[in-house]
Amino acid sequence: MDRNREHSKSHPSKKIKMPRKSFRLCQRNEYGTFSFGDRCLMLKTTSLYREKYNRTSLGLALDNYNELMRRGMLTWEAYTKHHLAINSSLQIIRNSIQKYKERRLQAGMFYLVPYTEGEGLETRTHLYHMPLKEALRKRRQEMKRRKQLLDASDNSKEYSNILDSMLRPSVKMLVMYTLSSIVLGCVILCF
């Protein structure tokens, strides 16, 4: 014990500068984390927000693109020079939206629905109007129904592909038989 006291006495005390701690009140919702005072200040976004933002941005870009096409953009020299870059940029945005959509539908909690009035997307979820346990139970039921529908549609596609491959030769024979009968009937009537 004396040794520690001697050690502390021999070294002059150094002042340690500690940064002041700041406190920021935040609010979290399905779109991300926002500063409570300034709702425009977004600290962290969720994939739902990014998908909705990309969809809205793509819609505005396509509206602008279509308006420029009506004005004759396809004949512009600058467009012919950069049309591949424009199309690839639009495709990159579409691919990112598709990835976000697949993840969102796999989780099954949120659905994006177009507004009934005007443009934009509305987020729908069971969490808005029922308790968490009930909403999760409802989500499990919907996911089970969706899986059954997907399995049924996959089976029906396989069956229809097999049926199509079997019917194609017979349909061709039926069409040929019908056409030859019509031609033969016309020949008999004419002579």
Residues 92 and 139 in one domain: no
The predicted model gives 169-180 an average pLDDT of 73
Q: Write out pLDDT tens, residues 97-106.
A: 999 999 988 8
pLDDT level of residue 88 (50, 70, 90 thresholds): very high
CA 141 to chain centre: 22
Do 125 and 109 touch, CB atoms closer than 8 A?
A: yes
**Three-class secondary structure of residue 40 per DSSP:** coil
Residue 19 forms part of a structural domain: no
Q: pLDDT per residue over 15-55, tens digit each?
A: 777 777 777 788 888 888 888 877 778 889 999 999 999 99
Statement to judge: residues 60 and 102 lie in one domain? yes
Cα separation, 111 vs 124, whole angstroms: 5
pLDDT for position 89: 92
| 165 token code pair | 């491959």
Closest CA to 107 of 66, 83, 139, 59: 139
Q: Kindly give the residue spans of alpha helices, DSSP state H, lying in 71-131.
A: 77-107
Are 174 and 144 part of one and the same domain? Answer: yes
- Look up the domain containing 147 and give its range: 132-190
Confidence (pLDDT) at 93: 93
Q: Which two tokens stand for residue 176?
A: 């040929």
Q: Is the pLDDT of residue 94 over 90?
A: yes
More confident residue, 178 or 67: 67
Is there a single domain that holds both residue 30 and residue 118? Answer: yes
Percent of the chain with pLDDT over 70: 82
